[in-house]
Amino acid sequence: MIDIKFLRENPEAVKENIKKKFQNQKLPLVDEIIELDKKYREAKLNGDNLRNERKNLSSQIGALMKEGKKEEAELIKQQVQEVNENVEKNQQLEDKLSIEIKEKMMKIPNIIHPSVPLGEDDSKNVEIEKFGEPVIPDYEIPHHGEIMEALGGLDLESSARVSGNGFYYLLGDVARLHSAVLTYARDFMINKGFTYCIPPYMIRSDVVTGVMSFEEMDAMMYKIEGEDLYLIGTSEHSMIGKFKDQILNKANLPYTMTSYSPCFRKEKGAHGLEERGVYRIHQFEKQEMIVVCEPEESWKWYDKMWSYTVEFFRSMNIPVRTLECCSGDLADLKAKSCDVEAWSPRRKAYFEVGSCSNLTDAQSRRLGIRIKGENGNYFAHTLNNTVVAPPRMLIAIMENNYQPDGSVIIPEVLRPYMGGLEKIEVRK
């Protein structure tokens, strides 16, 4: 959510930003908010005047009673009662206008960074840099699901009976490799100075609407029936929610945290792309990183965070590239975002394995995350980035380490977490 003062003083800049995000249907919101804001400030001024009037009248009552002018005092009391009724009506109007303004403000997208390329959707994302040389072996690489099944590590038939499509059973050394990746990711981020955390896996609706747009919420979140609780789609949600309504001490900043969690997503409208295997699923586990920092520090942290993901994948000798997300591919709260994509030798293309985003103060305004300053409190900046989501990480490992005999070489950095195992063999 942007600052309403900025919108009030720069309506054309806000409209231009909406156009850059190809959300022209939201343009009328700017003028609607300005009109509502005008009425709200008028109502607030009227409320202040009414309260001052009540204060002055109340002070007269005491003086009249001391002078024995009881009848006059009673008349003043009636006036006070009328003012009280007007104060109450005015407060109801203030509250109504405040709610309407907030609902509309939460639909206005964050101001994007000037460097963000313009484009309608992810097809217009721009490659930034490649890391590692992509390799295409001279033998065929099967679909990752087939590789994992041959290794005795994946059972989709049973999960379909138990839970439906979009779920899976991981078994044996493949399941162990999945856990090894998460444990390695945890240690990798701890060594970068991040505090490890296991957060709540369910969050309240006021946290959900604080960390994401309504469109994202509808497309992603599973609601717990009969409860004001949602299953998290990523631990970023509950990690940023940890700071809700807090005034942070400058001396404790930045907060740099890495978290493990299962993640649950509807993947609404996303079916049809790699539905086989474990590429697009409703349940997975992930290691995430978040930063809560001073506004002037956030872009430095943005570059650090995506570089950690690149370093993590390269430590397993997996080629990756970074993509600058275009304006139309940015969620409403994001000022800038880049994706990290891993090389798929089977598809001879890259696929997304992580995303790094700077949300500037958009989440902080929604959640009330402020920093105590010498000249008043101000909003913190928040960032998030995927360290690794092992189901997709498994795809990258399986394809980039697949051998002609069907076995898969385990990256060297993961072997200590696999009891020294160097290779997963085809199940006899």
Using 50 as the pLDDT threshold, list the residues of the chain that sit under it.
269-273
CA distances 55 to 3, 50, 51, 59, 371, Å, are 33, 9, 6, 6, 35
Residue with tokens 């203030």: 94
pLDDT at 216: 82
- State the pairing for strand pair 247-248/370-371: parallel
Domains of the chain: 4-105 (1.10.287.40), 122-424 (3.30.930.10)
Computed on alpha carbons and rounded to an integer, the radius of gyration of the chain in Å comes to 28
pLDDT at 220: 87
Torsion of CA 298, 304, 307, 311, to 10 degrees: -150
pLDDT at 268: 56
- List, for residues 52-104, the tens digit of each pLDDT value: 988 888 878 877 777 778 888 888 888 888 989 999 999 999 999 999 999 99
Sorted by sequence, the CB contacts under 8 Å of residue 178 that are 6+ apart come out as: 170, 285, 390, 391, 394
pLDDT at 270: 47
- List, for residues 11-24, the tens digit of each pLDDT value: 999 999 999 999 99
The model scores a pTM over 0.85:
yes
